[in-house]
Amino acid sequence: MLRAAGLAALVPALGGLAACGGGNSGGGTPGKATLSFLYLGDANQQAAFKQLFAEFNKQNPDITLNATGIPAGDWGSFVNTVSTQIAGGKVPDIIQVATEGQALLASKGLLEPLDDYIAKDKAAVDDYYGDVNKNLLDWTKKYGSTDGKTYYMPGGFNTVALYANASLFQKAGVELPSGDWSWDDFKKAGHTIKDKTGAYLIPAAYGFPFADIMPWLLTNGTSTLNADWTQATYNSPEAVQAAEFVKSLIDEGLSPKPGGQFDAGTQMKQGKLATFASGRFAQPGIKSINFIDGVQIIQFPKNKANGSPIGWDAWPILKASKNKDAAWTFIKFLISKQASEFFAKVGGTNVPARNAVAQSEAFTAGAPKNVTLFSKSVEWATPIPSPAKGAQMQKFITEAWQQAILGTKPVQEALDSANKQIQALL
Protein backbone atom coordinates (compact mmCIF):
# COMPACT_ATOMS: atom_id res chain seq x y z
CA MET A 1 0.00 0.00 0.00
CA LEU A 2 2.66 2.48 0.92
CA ARG A 3 5.67 1.61 -1.20
CA ALA A 4 7.32 4.51 -2.98
CA ALA A 5 9.56 2.75 -5.50
CA GLY A 6 9.78 4.78 -8.65
CA LEU A 7 8.70 8.04 -7.06
CA ALA A 8 12.02 9.64 -7.89
CA ALA A 9 11.29 8.95 -11.56
CA LEU A 10 8.34 11.28 -11.35
CA VAL A 11 10.48 14.23 -10.35
CA PRO A 12 12.48 14.60 -13.61
CA ALA A 13 9.28 14.14 -15.61
CA LEU A 14 7.63 16.97 -13.71
CA GLY A 15 10.70 19.16 -13.32
CA GLY A 16 10.43 20.79 -16.72
CA LEU A 17 6.80 21.62 -16.04
CA ALA A 18 7.25 23.34 -12.70
CA ALA A 19 7.84 26.79 -14.14
CA CYS A 20 5.08 26.72 -16.74
CA GLY A 21 2.12 26.73 -14.39
CA GLY A 22 -0.19 29.30 -15.90
CA GLY A 23 -3.89 29.02 -15.26
CA ASN A 24 -5.81 30.57 -12.43
CA SER A 25 -4.61 30.55 -8.83
CA GLY A 26 -5.30 32.20 -5.53
CA GLY A 27 -8.89 31.14 -5.02
CA GLY A 28 -10.89 32.69 -7.83
CA THR A 29 -14.08 31.33 -9.38
CA PRO A 30 -13.26 28.29 -11.53
CA GLY A 31 -15.97 28.73 -14.17
CA LYS A 32 -16.12 26.02 -16.82
CA ALA A 33 -13.13 23.72 -16.63
CA THR A 34 -11.97 20.19 -17.34
CA LEU A 35 -10.08 18.74 -14.43
CA SER A 36 -7.78 15.69 -14.53
CA PHE A 37 -7.08 13.59 -11.44
CA LEU A 38 -4.96 10.44 -11.06
CA TYR A 39 -5.38 8.09 -8.12
CA LEU A 40 -4.38 4.60 -7.02
CA GLY A 41 -7.28 2.17 -7.21
CA ASP A 42 -8.12 -1.35 -8.31
CA ALA A 43 -11.49 -2.29 -9.79
CA ASN A 44 -13.26 -2.38 -6.41
CA GLN A 45 -11.75 0.90 -5.27
CA GLN A 46 -12.55 2.54 -8.59
CA ALA A 47 -16.20 1.54 -8.24
CA ALA A 48 -16.41 3.39 -4.92
CA PHE A 49 -14.46 6.40 -6.18
CA LYS A 50 -16.63 6.71 -9.28
CA GLN A 51 -19.70 7.14 -7.11
CA LEU A 52 -17.92 9.89 -5.21
CA PHE A 53 -16.85 11.60 -8.43
CA ALA A 54 -20.40 11.42 -9.77
CA GLU A 55 -21.58 13.26 -6.68
CA PHE A 56 -18.95 15.96 -7.27
CA ASN A 57 -20.04 16.37 -10.90
CA LYS A 58 -23.64 16.64 -9.76
CA GLN A 59 -22.76 19.48 -7.39
CA ASN A 60 -20.36 21.18 -9.83
CA PRO A 61 -21.85 20.86 -13.35
CA ASP A 62 -19.43 23.43 -14.80
CA ILE A 63 -16.41 21.28 -13.94
CA THR A 64 -15.80 18.13 -15.96
CA LEU A 65 -13.81 15.76 -13.79
CA ASN A 66 -11.70 13.24 -15.66
CA ALA A 67 -10.55 10.92 -12.89
CA THR A 68 -8.35 7.95 -13.73
CA GLY A 69 -7.82 5.10 -11.30
CA ILE A 70 -4.57 3.22 -11.84
CA PRO A 71 -4.82 -0.41 -10.64
CA ALA A 72 -1.20 -0.63 -9.49
CA GLY A 73 -0.21 -3.15 -6.86
CA ASP A 74 1.79 -0.56 -4.92
CA TRP A 75 2.68 3.11 -4.91
CA GLY A 76 5.88 2.53 -6.88
CA SER A 77 4.04 1.04 -9.82
CA PHE A 78 1.46 3.81 -9.58
CA VAL A 79 4.07 6.55 -9.76
CA ASN A 80 5.89 4.86 -12.64
CA THR A 81 2.65 4.90 -14.62
CA VAL A 82 1.99 8.54 -13.70
CA SER A 83 5.50 9.62 -14.69
CA THR A 84 5.16 7.87 -18.05
CA GLN A 85 1.92 9.73 -18.74
CA ILE A 86 3.46 13.05 -17.78
CA ALA A 87 6.53 12.42 -19.90
CA GLY A 88 4.12 11.86 -22.77
CA GLY A 89 2.55 15.27 -22.21
CA LYS A 90 -0.51 14.28 -20.17
CA VAL A 91 -0.13 16.48 -17.11
CA PRO A 92 -2.79 15.98 -14.40
CA ASP A 93 -4.12 18.80 -12.26
CA ILE A 94 -4.11 16.70 -9.07
CA ILE A 95 -2.33 13.48 -8.09
CA GLN A 96 -3.10 11.34 -5.08
CA VAL A 97 0.17 11.30 -3.10
CA ALA A 98 0.95 8.85 -0.31
CA THR A 99 3.10 9.66 2.70
CA GLU A 100 6.33 8.55 1.04
CA GLY A 101 6.20 11.08 -1.77
CA GLN A 102 4.98 14.19 0.00
CA ALA A 103 8.29 15.69 1.15
CA LEU A 104 10.04 14.77 -2.09
CA LEU A 105 7.53 16.41 -4.42
CA ALA A 106 7.18 19.51 -2.24
CA SER A 107 10.95 19.99 -2.14
CA LYS A 108 11.22 20.00 -5.94
CA GLY A 109 8.99 23.01 -6.50
CA LEU A 110 6.41 20.99 -8.42
CA LEU A 111 3.38 21.94 -6.35
CA GLU A 112 1.19 25.01 -6.00
CA PRO A 113 1.06 26.47 -2.46
CA LEU A 114 -2.46 26.18 -1.05
CA ASP A 115 -2.17 29.01 1.48
CA ASP A 116 -4.12 31.60 -0.56
CA TYR A 117 -6.93 29.12 -1.15
CA ILE A 118 -7.00 28.20 2.53
CA ALA A 119 -7.22 31.88 3.50
CA LYS A 120 -10.07 32.47 1.05
CA ASP A 121 -12.07 29.45 2.27
CA LYS A 122 -11.02 29.71 5.91
CA ALA A 123 -14.40 28.63 7.28
CA ALA A 124 -14.47 25.40 5.26
CA VAL A 125 -10.85 24.55 6.04
CA ASP A 126 -11.21 25.39 9.74
CA ASP A 127 -14.24 23.10 9.89
CA TYR A 128 -12.13 20.30 8.39
CA TYR A 129 -9.04 20.93 10.52
CA GLY A 130 -11.22 21.03 13.61
CA ASP A 131 -12.47 17.52 12.86
CA VAL A 132 -9.06 15.99 12.00
CA ASN A 133 -6.62 14.56 14.55
CA LYS A 134 -3.97 17.16 15.35
CA ASN A 135 -1.21 14.60 14.86
CA LEU A 136 -2.22 14.10 11.25
CA LEU A 137 -2.18 17.85 10.61
CA ASP A 138 1.20 18.27 12.30
CA TRP A 139 2.76 15.38 10.38
CA THR A 140 1.50 16.69 7.05
CA LYS A 141 3.07 20.05 7.83
CA LYS A 142 6.35 18.52 9.04
CA TYR A 143 6.88 15.99 6.27
CA GLY A 144 5.00 17.69 3.42
CA SER A 145 6.77 21.04 3.31
CA THR A 146 10.34 22.28 3.31
CA ASP A 147 9.63 26.02 3.29
CA GLY A 148 6.69 26.53 5.66
CA LYS A 149 4.10 26.74 2.89
CA THR A 150 1.13 24.39 2.68
CA TYR A 151 1.18 22.04 -0.29
CA TYR A 152 -1.12 19.23 0.81
CA MET A 153 -4.55 18.72 2.24
CA PRO A 154 -4.41 15.44 4.19
CA GLY A 155 -6.95 12.76 3.39
CA GLY A 156 -7.77 9.28 4.68
CA PHE A 157 -5.16 7.19 6.49
CA ASN A 158 -4.26 3.68 7.57
CA THR A 159 -2.94 2.37 10.85
CA VAL A 160 -2.31 -1.25 11.87
CA ALA A 161 -4.13 -3.45 14.37
CA LEU A 162 -5.01 -7.15 14.57
CA TYR A 163 -7.94 -8.81 12.83
CA ALA A 164 -9.01 -11.58 15.22
CA ASN A 165 -11.19 -14.67 14.77
CA ALA A 166 -13.51 -14.16 17.75
CA SER A 167 -15.06 -17.64 17.68
CA LEU A 168 -11.64 -19.30 17.56
CA PHE A 169 -10.54 -17.45 20.68
CA GLN A 170 -13.78 -18.50 22.37
CA LYS A 171 -13.36 -22.12 21.28
CA ALA A 172 -9.89 -22.16 22.84
CA GLY A 173 -11.16 -20.54 26.03
CA VAL A 174 -8.99 -17.45 25.49
CA GLU A 175 -10.58 -14.09 26.22
CA LEU A 176 -10.18 -11.46 23.53
CA PRO A 177 -8.33 -8.44 24.95
CA SER A 178 -10.54 -5.39 25.38
CA GLY A 179 -7.52 -3.10 25.55
CA ASP A 180 -3.77 -3.37 25.96
CA TRP A 181 -2.00 -6.70 26.13
CA SER A 182 1.65 -7.71 26.08
CA TRP A 183 3.81 -9.77 23.75
CA ASP A 184 3.93 -12.41 26.50
CA ASP A 185 0.12 -12.41 26.74
CA PHE A 186 -0.03 -12.78 22.98
CA LYS A 187 2.34 -15.74 22.87
CA LYS A 188 0.61 -17.43 25.80
CA ALA A 189 -2.74 -17.08 24.02
CA GLY A 190 -1.15 -18.53 20.90
CA HIS A 191 0.03 -21.66 22.65
CA THR A 192 -3.40 -22.22 24.18
CA ILE A 193 -5.11 -21.72 20.81
CA LYS A 194 -2.61 -24.07 19.14
CA ASP A 195 -3.09 -26.76 21.80
CA LYS A 196 -6.91 -26.51 21.83
CA THR A 197 -7.67 -25.97 18.13
CA GLY A 198 -4.49 -26.58 16.11
CA ALA A 199 -4.76 -23.08 14.61
CA TYR A 200 -1.85 -20.74 14.05
CA LEU A 201 -1.64 -17.53 16.09
CA ILE A 202 -0.43 -15.18 13.34
CA PRO A 203 1.30 -15.43 9.96
CA ALA A 204 4.74 -13.88 10.49
CA ALA A 205 6.04 -12.32 7.27
CA TYR A 206 8.58 -9.86 5.87
CA GLY A 207 7.40 -8.69 2.43
CA PHE A 208 5.20 -5.77 3.52
CA PRO A 209 7.04 -3.73 6.19
CA PHE A 210 4.01 -1.55 6.98
CA ALA A 211 2.16 -4.50 8.55
CA ASP A 212 4.81 -7.22 8.82
CA ILE A 213 7.71 -5.36 10.45
CA MET A 214 6.92 -1.84 11.64
CA PRO A 215 4.29 -2.78 14.30
CA TRP A 216 6.81 -5.05 16.07
CA LEU A 217 9.47 -2.34 16.08
CA LEU A 218 7.13 0.42 17.21
CA THR A 219 5.55 -1.59 20.02
CA ASN A 220 9.08 -2.12 21.32
CA GLY A 221 9.91 1.57 21.26
CA THR A 222 12.00 1.73 18.10
CA SER A 223 11.80 2.13 14.33
CA THR A 224 13.95 1.77 11.23
CA LEU A 225 14.97 5.46 11.45
CA ASN A 226 15.01 8.21 14.04
CA ALA A 227 12.20 10.78 14.15
CA ASP A 228 13.92 13.12 11.66
CA TRP A 229 14.71 10.28 9.20
CA THR A 230 18.41 11.14 9.33
CA GLN A 231 19.81 8.19 11.29
CA ALA A 232 19.29 4.46 10.79
CA THR A 233 18.23 2.65 13.97
CA TYR A 234 17.42 -0.76 12.50
CA ASN A 235 20.06 -2.56 14.57
CA SER A 236 19.10 -1.10 17.95
CA PRO A 237 18.75 -3.53 20.87
CA GLU A 238 14.98 -2.99 20.70
CA ALA A 239 14.88 -3.89 16.99
CA VAL A 240 16.95 -7.02 17.59
CA GLN A 241 14.63 -8.03 20.42
CA ALA A 242 11.58 -7.51 18.18
CA ALA A 243 13.01 -9.70 15.43
CA GLU A 244 13.98 -12.39 17.94
CA PHE A 245 10.42 -12.40 19.30
CA VAL A 246 8.89 -12.82 15.84
CA LYS A 247 11.42 -15.57 15.11
CA SER A 248 10.30 -17.34 18.28
CA LEU A 249 6.69 -17.36 17.03
CA ILE A 250 7.87 -19.31 13.98
CA ASP A 251 10.25 -21.56 15.92
CA GLU A 252 7.51 -22.46 18.42
CA GLY A 253 4.98 -23.35 15.72
CA LEU A 254 2.69 -20.38 16.33
CA SER A 255 3.20 -19.10 12.79
CA PRO A 256 3.50 -20.95 9.49
CA LYS A 257 6.94 -20.62 7.98
CA PRO A 258 6.94 -17.46 5.84
CA GLY A 259 7.13 -17.82 2.09
CA GLY A 260 4.75 -18.86 -0.65
CA GLN A 261 1.08 -17.98 -0.74
CA PHE A 262 -0.95 -17.69 2.45
CA ASP A 263 -4.47 -16.29 2.25
CA ALA A 264 -4.94 -15.06 5.81
CA GLY A 265 -8.65 -14.27 5.39
CA THR A 266 -9.54 -17.70 4.04
CA GLN A 267 -7.39 -19.47 6.65
CA MET A 268 -9.11 -17.47 9.37
CA LYS A 269 -12.58 -18.27 8.08
CA GLN A 270 -11.64 -21.97 8.03
CA GLY A 271 -10.65 -21.80 11.70
CA LYS A 272 -6.94 -22.25 11.00
CA LEU A 273 -5.74 -18.78 11.99
CA ALA A 274 -6.41 -16.66 15.06
CA THR A 275 -5.11 -13.22 14.02
CA PHE A 276 -3.37 -11.26 11.29
CA ALA A 277 -1.97 -7.74 11.23
CA SER A 278 -3.38 -5.26 8.76
CA GLY A 279 -5.04 -1.91 8.25
CA ARG A 280 -8.50 -0.87 7.13
CA PHE A 281 -7.49 -1.96 3.61
CA ALA A 282 -8.03 -5.63 4.52
CA GLN A 283 -11.76 -5.16 5.05
CA PRO A 284 -12.90 -5.54 1.41
CA GLY A 285 -11.17 -8.91 1.22
CA ILE A 286 -12.82 -10.11 4.44
CA LYS A 287 -16.16 -8.87 3.16
CA SER A 288 -15.69 -10.69 -0.16
CA ILE A 289 -15.52 -14.06 1.65
CA ASN A 290 -18.53 -13.18 3.85
CA PHE A 291 -16.61 -13.25 7.12
CA ILE A 292 -17.03 -9.70 8.44
CA ASP A 293 -19.23 -10.84 11.34
CA GLY A 294 -16.62 -13.37 12.44
CA VAL A 295 -13.86 -10.79 12.83
CA GLN A 296 -13.07 -8.32 15.60
CA ILE A 297 -10.38 -5.63 15.53
CA ILE A 298 -8.12 -5.77 18.59
CA GLN A 299 -5.05 -4.00 19.88
CA PHE A 300 -1.64 -5.02 18.56
CA PRO A 301 0.29 -6.52 21.50
CA LYS A 302 3.04 -4.36 22.99
CA ASN A 303 6.28 -4.87 24.84
CA LYS A 304 7.23 -1.29 25.74
CA ALA A 305 4.43 0.88 24.39
CA ASN A 306 1.48 0.94 22.04
CA GLY A 307 2.60 1.58 18.49
CA SER A 308 1.46 1.53 14.90
CA PRO A 309 2.77 2.85 11.60
CA ILE A 310 0.57 5.36 9.83
CA GLY A 311 0.39 6.47 6.22
CA TRP A 312 -2.08 8.88 4.70
CA ASP A 313 -3.31 10.22 1.38
CA ALA A 314 -2.80 13.87 0.52
CA TRP A 315 -4.13 16.12 -2.21
CA PRO A 316 -1.80 18.65 -3.90
CA ILE A 317 -2.34 20.86 -6.93
CA LEU A 318 0.41 20.69 -9.53
CA LYS A 319 2.07 24.00 -10.33
CA ALA A 320 1.78 23.08 -14.03
CA SER A 321 -2.03 22.86 -13.77
CA LYS A 322 -4.02 25.32 -15.87
CA ASN A 323 -7.13 24.68 -13.77
CA LYS A 324 -5.98 25.48 -10.26
CA ASP A 325 -9.24 27.04 -9.07
CA ALA A 326 -11.22 24.04 -10.30
CA ALA A 327 -8.68 21.76 -8.62
CA TRP A 328 -9.18 23.61 -5.33
CA THR A 329 -12.95 23.25 -5.72
CA PHE A 330 -12.43 19.50 -6.00
CA ILE A 331 -10.15 19.38 -2.94
CA LYS A 332 -12.67 21.44 -0.98
CA PHE A 333 -15.31 18.87 -1.92
CA LEU A 334 -13.08 15.98 -0.80
CA ILE A 335 -12.61 17.48 2.67
CA SER A 336 -16.30 18.22 3.18
CA LYS A 337 -18.23 16.18 5.74
CA GLN A 338 -20.78 15.26 3.07
CA ALA A 339 -18.14 13.76 0.79
CA SER A 340 -16.45 11.96 3.68
CA GLU A 341 -19.71 10.38 4.81
CA PHE A 342 -20.66 9.49 1.24
CA PHE A 343 -17.34 7.77 0.58
CA ALA A 344 -17.43 5.93 3.90
CA LYS A 345 -20.83 4.50 3.00
CA VAL A 346 -19.97 3.36 -0.53
CA GLY A 347 -16.76 1.68 0.56
CA GLY A 348 -13.06 2.36 0.62
CA THR A 349 -9.80 1.07 2.01
CA ASN A 350 -8.78 3.76 4.46
CA VAL A 351 -10.01 5.52 7.59
CA PRO A 352 -11.77 8.88 7.09
CA ALA A 353 -9.64 11.80 8.27
CA ARG A 354 -12.71 13.38 9.87
CA ASN A 355 -13.07 12.03 13.40
CA ALA A 356 -16.84 12.53 13.40
CA VAL A 357 -17.19 10.32 10.32
CA ALA A 358 -14.66 7.71 11.47
CA GLN A 359 -16.71 7.22 14.64
CA SER A 360 -20.10 7.28 12.90
CA GLU A 361 -22.36 4.61 11.46
CA ALA A 362 -21.38 5.74 7.98
CA PHE A 363 -18.00 4.11 8.66
CA THR A 364 -18.86 1.37 11.16
CA ALA A 365 -21.87 -0.16 9.38
CA GLY A 366 -20.87 -3.40 7.68
CA ALA A 367 -17.41 -3.30 9.25
CA PRO A 368 -15.77 -5.66 11.75
CA LYS A 369 -16.56 -5.09 15.41
CA ASN A 370 -14.36 -2.41 17.03
CA VAL A 371 -13.27 -0.97 13.64
CA THR A 372 -13.01 2.46 15.29
CA LEU A 373 -9.74 1.26 16.86
CA PHE A 374 -8.03 2.16 13.57
CA SER A 375 -8.99 5.79 14.11
CA LYS A 376 -8.03 5.81 17.78
CA SER A 377 -4.61 4.39 16.88
CA VAL A 378 -3.56 7.78 15.48
CA GLU A 379 -2.86 8.76 19.08
CA TRP A 380 0.06 6.32 19.33
CA ALA A 381 1.00 6.00 15.65
CA THR A 382 4.28 6.94 13.98
CA PRO A 383 4.53 8.06 10.32
CA ILE A 384 6.05 5.37 8.15
CA PRO A 385 9.68 6.52 7.61
CA SER A 386 9.86 7.94 4.09
CA PRO A 387 13.15 9.55 3.13
CA ALA A 388 13.90 10.33 -0.50
CA LYS A 389 15.47 6.90 -1.07
CA GLY A 390 12.80 5.03 0.84
CA ALA A 391 12.29 2.47 -1.93
CA GLN A 392 15.92 1.34 -1.87
CA MET A 393 15.84 1.38 1.93
CA GLN A 394 12.83 -0.92 2.00
CA LYS A 395 14.74 -3.59 0.09
CA PHE A 396 17.37 -3.79 2.83
CA ILE A 397 14.72 -3.76 5.57
CA THR A 398 12.76 -6.69 4.15
CA GLU A 399 15.77 -8.80 3.25
CA ALA A 400 17.29 -8.43 6.71
CA TRP A 401 14.00 -9.21 8.47
CA GLN A 402 13.61 -12.30 6.30
CA GLN A 403 17.10 -13.50 7.23
CA ALA A 404 16.52 -12.75 10.90
CA ILE A 405 13.14 -14.43 11.42
CA LEU A 406 13.99 -17.46 9.24
CA GLY A 407 17.35 -17.93 10.95
CA THR A 408 19.41 -17.90 7.78
CA LYS A 409 21.64 -15.31 9.45
CA PRO A 410 22.02 -14.35 13.13
CA VAL A 411 19.53 -11.59 14.00
CA GLN A 412 22.13 -9.03 15.11
CA GLU A 413 24.29 -9.68 12.06
CA ALA A 414 21.35 -9.36 9.66
CA LEU A 415 20.16 -6.07 11.14
CA ASP A 416 23.71 -4.67 11.46
CA SER A 417 24.30 -5.23 7.75
CA ALA A 418 20.99 -3.66 6.75
CA ASN A 419 21.51 -0.70 9.08
CA LYS A 420 24.86 0.07 7.46
CA GLN A 421 23.30 -0.04 3.99
CA ILE A 422 20.37 2.15 5.07
CA GLN A 423 22.68 4.74 6.62
CA ALA A 424 24.70 4.89 3.39
CA LEU A 425 21.50 5.77 1.52
CA LEU A 426 20.65 8.48 4.03
Q: Tens digits of per-residue pLDDT, 178-207?
A: 999 999 999 999 999 999 999 999 999 999
Q: Quote the crossing angle between the two packed helices 43-59 and 324-334, to the nearest 10°.
A: 110
Return the percentage of the chain with pLDDT > 90, whole number. Answer: 71
Q: Tens digits of per-residue pLDDT, 137-161?
A: 999 998 888 899 999 999 999 999 9
Q: Tens digits of per-residue pLDDT, 295-338?
A: 999 999 999 999 999 999 999 999 999 999 999 999 999 999 99
What pLDDT is stored for residue 301 in this prediction?
A: 98
The dotted CATH code for 7-159+310-383 is: 3.40.190.10
Q: Tens digits of per-residue pLDDT, 242-275?
A: 999 999 999 999 999 998 788 999 999 999 999 9
Give the residue extent of every domain in the chain. 7-159+310-383, 161-309+386-425
Q: Among 198, 186, 211, which Cα is nearest to 273's?
A: 198
What pLDDT is stored for residue 1 in this prediction?
A: 33
Fold equal for 7-159+310-383 and 161-309+386-425: yes
- Distance CA(310)–CA(198), nearest Å, equals 33
Q: Tens digits of per-residue pLDDT, 91-129?
A: 899 999 888 778 777 877 889 999 999 999 999 999 999
Under a CB-based contact definition with an 8 Å cutoff, are residues 317 and 111 in contact? yes
Where residue 76 falls among pLDDT bands split at 50, 70, 90? low
Q: pTM score, two decimals?
A: 0.89
What sign for the dihedral angle of Cα 418, 421, 424, 426? negative
Fold of the domain built from segment(s) 161-309+386-425: D-Maltodextrin-Binding Protein; domain 2 (3.40.190)
What pLDDT is stored for residue 143 in this prediction?
A: 87
Q: Is residue 17 predicted with pLDDT exceeding 50?
A: no
